[in-house]
Structure 1
């Protein structure tokens, strides 16, 4: 008997992501990107690391995200949904029974966030400072920061405060400043900002 006739070569191993659906591949890549970009910024994270930790093939990665910048843009969009809307705005609205209380509750939410071991500061600020305002990623970060001001302005309007657009810009300074201070190690930064926020509300009451 010809021994070669009985030999069946082993099947080639399946590709790393052969069993993952396209939607599953995107989710895995975004999950890894969210963790890495939020903790380490953009420039420190390479495509090869993203591919390796996502467990997808290089071709799959580039099919969904033709460039690293396109993945960063997707990360910023997800950050807006998960951090701005769900973690901050929705939680502040839940904690306060009036628009004014909800505005002030933003800093209570910040206080819990500042104490977390995985506190990573504001990704929009981080990416803006890292890439610069002229870079498309920096501009996208500016746009998302403007969306945060938009949420604040809505609350200010609901509270009946005057000059709500001006109010939202001043309020956002307090938000951003407290985040930077917490990054420096000031764990009472949210309370300091909240006190100043109360003064700002008084300054924007009708007739003030």
Structure 2
């Protein structure tokens, strides 16, 4: 029954949902989840907190995301778009001209990122370590890490490096290692990794 038809105003949740519409509600839930999962991981964030912070009814939440895992998968997909593609790869390409220079520029982007107050390390690594490789969310994280490696390999191929797949795997180790080192407090981690990346590039040149 419509509450207004009975002379009663709709609840705050219902009123907000009516104003936003389906797409707006889903986006609001995802924005809340993105912030919480990025900062605190997966297990520490419960469904009730997600519902409360999103300002939606429980039934509405589950209509858009049938399970917490489905929301985490949406978060990982959003993270790939905002972090991997927009913040890292595109920014590195913007900062340098040649593919080899763009590979090194990844660590210039990292250096700026490491100094931000909201630096939260790599969510794909975090989720993988938290959930384990056998868990569907861990496997999804592995897949997204492979996509990052694919971007690096594409740049290596454009740069004409030998064994671009092997290069990408080694480069990815430097990338992940610098993120962990920065989380430990080493603010020069990106510069150290960039120097090693330069050696790696020379090693793979024709």
Aligned equivalents of 1:197, 1:176: Cα separation in 2: 12
Matched residues in 2 for 1:191 and 1:19: separation? Answer: 48
Structure 2 counterparts to residues 63-102 of structure 1, below 5 A: 63-102=63-102
User: Could you say which residue in structure 1 is the equivalent of 2:9?
Assistant: 12
CA-CA distance at 1:15 after TM superposition = 5.0
Equivalent residues in 2 for 1:21-170, closer than 5 Å: 21-170=21-170
Q: Which secondary structure does the structure 2 equivalent of 1:80 belong to?
A: helix
- Give the distance between the partners of 2:12 and 2:70, measured in 1 at CA: 24
Structure-2 separation of matches of 1:87 and 1:13: 41
By how many angstroms is 1:12 displaced? 3.4
Matches within 5 A, 1:180-199: 180-199=180-199
Distance across 1 between alignment mates of 2:18 and 2:45: 25
Shift of 1:10: 4.5
Give 1:13 deviation, angstroms.
Answer: 2.7
Q: Comparing 15-24 with 31-40, which one deviates more in the overlay?
A: 15-24
In 2, are the aligned partners of 1:104 and 1:197 still within 8 Å (CA)?
Answer: yes
In 1, Cα distance between equivalents of 2:189 and 2:103: 16
Pair member with larger Rg: 1
- 2:138 and 2:39 map into 1 onto residues whose CA distance is 17
Aligned partners of 2:202, 2:85: CA distance in 1, in Å?
26
Over residues 167-204 of structure 1, what are the superposed CA-to-partner deviations in whole Å (9 max), with x where a residue is unaligned? 00000000000000000000000000000000000000
1:5 corresponds in structure 2 to none
The C-alpha deviation readout for 1:22-66, integer Å capped at 9, x for no partner, is 000010000000000000000000000000001111111000100
Superimposed CA distance per residue, residues 152-171 of structure 1 (whole angstroms, 9 cap, x where no aligned partner): 00000000000000000000
Unaligned runs of 5+ in 1: 1-8
Residues 128-163 of structure 1, C-alpha deviation per residue, up to 9 Å, x if partnerless? 000000000000000000000000000000000000
Considering fraction of residues, name the structure with more helix.
Answer: 2
Structure 2: 5+ residue stretches without partners: 1-5
Distance, in Å, in 1 between the alignment partners of 2:77 and 2:154 is: 20
